[in-house]
Chains A and B, each alone.
Chain A
Amino acid sequence: MKRRGRGMACMWYPIGFTVAANPSAAVVKVNEDGTATLLTGTVETGQGSLTILAQITAQELGIATDDVHVVSADTDATPMDTGAIASRTTYVTGNAARMAAEKAKLTLFEVAAPLLGVKPTQLEAQDHKIFVKGFPQRNMHIGDVANHARVVSGQPPIGSASFNPETLALDPETGQGKPFGTYVYATQIAEVDVDDETGEVEVIRVVASHDCGTAINPMLVEGQVEGGVAMGVGFALEEEMLFDAQGRHINPNLTNYIMPTSLDTPDIEVDIVDSYDPTGPFGAKGVGEPTLVPTAAAIANAIYDAVGVRITSLPATAEKVCKALQAKREQQPKQIGTGAALDGAASINTAVQ
């Protein structure tokens, strides 16, 4: 019989490297028509980081995402970057891109200030215009300013900057210190059906509430969460690299290494938690890795809720759940009192290994 269960798990996860410096640099060049180019040494590995960086750059310059072309990942041309790792691109490279764009913008302000008859500090960039704060009607198109910067003032608007999260070394004995610039938080709740005869687990639905600071692009955040949950389902139920007694691989192929297909992936409901991190670009933190962190735990708790067995080793394959169910049936009579759940857990632990 299929039994339904629900389980939750929450988590915290840091952005960037543990204490170690992990800087990113960026260069922003504003073209004569007010569009721009961002140079970054990070690599698009599918997360959409280049789109996020374009959005951050565009926001700072007051132009649209499509106005920013991103050149990336060429050691001959792009500035140093620690790379697509540690959920750091939005936060670290994003900060660098924002600061580089700000520098280019300040050049534009210097050029525009005399034309608008104000000081550079009184200017703002928005909606393709550079205008006087509080007097939006006193404005110039960013393209006109950029062109003026080149042909009249001889000050091409280019900015470069770098960012490295602020950390403090950990005490070697107690591990006390400030290892990361910031952290994100999340909760996932899973609903599963467990077949109490075969031990097969089907994940029906996962609700994932994730904090990423400001969501620079909610669509890409959803994409990260959906993909992370799917990967978490694989970690929880299916995936395992196996070795024989001599240490040779048993299943180095996708025929025998089982990972989630469209049929195993649950309905995933993504919920973005409002939050703002003053240290991130426009309040953003990051979201890449944390998306799969709580999934397996939520599923394991849902399995417990459904059939009362505690899976203590992953993956919770049908075989393993089935064995645990058998062990539970055999010692059912003993399970009375408060400590029972834990006694049960301990015995299941031995049973499944």
Chain B
Amino acid sequence: MAEKPKVIEKPDVLERPDILKPQAPAPLVAFPIEVVVPEGRQQTPAVGQRASRADGRLHGLGQTKYIDDMYFPNMLFAKIKRAGIASARIKNIDTKEAEAMPGVVAVITGRDIPCNSFGPSLKDQPVLADTRVFHAGDGVAAVAAVSEQIATEALEKIKVDYEVLTPVLDPLESLKLETPGVHAPSANIYGHKVIKKGDVEKAFAESDHVFEGTFRTQMVEHVPLEPYACIAQWDANGRVTIYSTLGRITLGRADVARTLGIPMSRIRIVATVVGGNFGGKNEIRAEPAMALLSKKTGRPVKCVFTRSEEFTSSTTRHPLIMDYKTGVTKQGKILGRKIRLVLDGGAYCSWSETTLGKACILSAGPYNIENLYAEAFVVYTNKTMTGAMRGFGAPQVCFAYESHMDDIAKALGIDPLEIRLLNAFDEGSLSPTSQKLHSVVVKESLLRAAKRFGWNGIGDGVGNGNGA
């Protein structure tokens, strides 16, 4: 049923009085009126041209409109209260004092969200935490006020009563069966994958040398220069328009529909140019909360994350612990490889399943390895959720397999380029999942990079570890 829109009589006094004053004269035209189309955009055939981007000129003029550059009449500003505790039970949230503040128009908590869970695979992430806090960046309440300043001040007035619990922070701890479940009764291991090919133990027995190594990577943030932002506008037909920094609007709409319990036809999601994504803007964040605040107030509501929230409350890159064991011949040919990956999955699943799968499949490297056993686990910890980030686990496993490769080359006295050429995929090679590969140019890339760089083998006094 359509909501009755709230009638706004007169904006109250606190509401940016200067907006009511006549604006200074509009600036002169700040861009050339004559359109000059760069050559690359005019040439045919179009493919292969160094065509400049259509938005390039707008970027340079400061005219690209990002979400935070959009203003609507009567717009409210929202802020989200963060738990600041890694693991806790929420006993009570008292929003009365905040609600009573002049300039605060509405406050919501997780209890106001019709279906408080979402996620691209496991739906284990709340829009706002209602009964449990799973990491320090969890939101517990959202405030809409007439100014950002007032919304920020109101967060201080929200009183949350927590029962603090011991967090699980180490992924290897989390992997142990006796460790209490982060999301008990669910197990801490929430994803597992195996790639198995040939007989790895037999290969090790037949190898001239067997090498082992353990490698670790850290948690990394995407740091898009534009922090997450969205504006929600609920209209009288019960339809909501959401302007958001989302990289995946189709999925975003499905998540908003699910969390709000309204049909997709009542949701419009618009993404303008996103100011950097790198995987960090691939699922909804505050959209459902903003939609509800807009519904509650009858006014457009804008939310822009602070830089700090970008770190604490958006997804990050999975830290990995990677054990490698590789059997080789004297000549450096890889006969078998065994890999174990443990992914720190953070507080929520997010894109962990994809990351787990890609990391596991790619972990052997671009090499022909007939005997392979790769196993990967992803576990919950009470840390910021890890999700999609440029490479989905590939930069982590590449760090491991390529460091390991150089260790092997060094020990066998083989040039790093040679050992790679000896093992690298060819056209038609079978991947670790026995997929027949096409358009394979790994050797070409090795040779081209070596040539361009001027790689001339080790032992020439440059690459022997003694410096130039």
Contacts and interface: CB of A to CB of B under 8 A. Distances in A.
Interface string B58-89: 00000000000000000000000000111100
A349 B44 contact: no
22 contacts: A5-B463, A10-B445, A46-B277, A51-B51, A55-B49, A62-B44, A74-B270, A126-B45, A173-B194, A175-B195, A176-B434, A205-B453, A209-B452, A219-B40, A235-B317, A240-B219, A245-B169, A278-B438, A294-B402, A310-B407, A314-B216, A314-B218
Contacts of B412: 338
Given A4-B462, A126-B45, A293-B398, A46 B450 contact: no
B399 A289 contact: no
B219 A218 contact: no
A178 B433 contact: yes
Report the 3 A-B pairs with minimum CB-CB distance, sorted nearest first: A247-B86, A3-B467, A83-B248
A186 interface: yes
Interface string B425-459: 10000011111011111101110111011010010
A82 to B, nearest CB: 7
B433 to A, nearest CB: 5
Given A11-B366, A43-B247, 12 more contacts: A4-B462, A13-B394, A63-B44, A183-B440, A211-B439, A249-B308, A257-B223, A278-B439, A301-B403, A315-B218, A341-B410, A345-B407
Contacts of B438: 182, 277-279
B267 A293 contact: no
A248 B411 contact: no
A5 B453 CA distance: 13
Interface in A268-298: 269, 271, 273-279, 282, 285, 288-290, 292-298
Interface in A303-323: 304-308, 310-315
A313 B395 contact: no
Contact of B249 (A14, A83, A211, A276): A83
Contact of B407 (A9, A209, A240, A341): A341
B465 A305 contact: yes
Interface in B352-386: 354, 357-358, 360-362, 365-366, 374, 382-384
A232 interface: yes
Interface string A63-89: 111100010111110001111111000
Interface stretch (B15-23, B124-132, B207-215, B292-300): B207-215
Q: Which of B275, B317, B398, B458 has the most CB of A within 10 A?
A: B398
A252 interface: yes
Contacts of B212: 342
B50 A213 contact: no
Nearest to A352: B216
A336 interface: no
A245 B87 CA distance: 12
B307 interface: yes
A164 to B, nearest CB: 13
Contacts of B391: 13, 289-290, 292-293
B111 interface: no
Contact of B449 (A58, A72, A189, A310): A189
B235 to A, nearest CB: 13
A341 B411 contact: yes
Interface string A321-353: 000000000000000001101100100010001
Interface in A214-238: 214-220, 228, 231-232, 234-236
A173 to B, nearest CB: 7
Contact of B136 (A2, A7, A175, A249): A249
Contact of A73 (B85, B270, B366, B374): B270
A202 interface: no
Contacts of B433: 170, 175-179
B216 A210 contact: no
B424 interface: yes
B439 A182 contact: yes
A246 interface: yes
A211 B87 CA distance: 45
A195 to B, nearest CB: 11
Interface string B195-224: 111000000000000011111111111010
A252 B282 contact: no
B200 to A, nearest CB: 12
Contact of B195 (A81, A174, A245): A174
A224 B353 CA distance: 26
B51 A55 contact: yes
